[in-house]
Amino acid sequence: MLGFAFLFPSRLHDRTHVSTRQYARLVRDWVSAIGLDPSGYGTRSLRRKKAAEIYRKTGNLRAVQLLLGHTKGDSTVRYLGVELEDALGIVEQIDI
| The pLDDT value given to residue 33 | 96
**pLDDT surpassing 50 at residue 7:** yes
Closest CA to 61 of 83, 42, 44, 43: 83
Higher per-residue pLDDT: 5 or 77: 77
Q: Are 34 and 46 in contact (CB under 8 A)?
A: no
Segment holding 79, helix H or strand E: helix 73-80
Q: Answer whether residue 96 shows pLDDT above 70.
A: no
Mean pLDDT of the chain: 81
At 88 the pLDDT is: 66
Boundaries of every domain in the chain? 44-92
Confidence of residue 59 (pLDDT cuts 50, 70, 90): confident
CB distance 46 to 35 below 8 Å: no
Q: Rounded distance, CA 88 to CA 82, Å?
A: 10
Cα 36 from chain centroid? 20
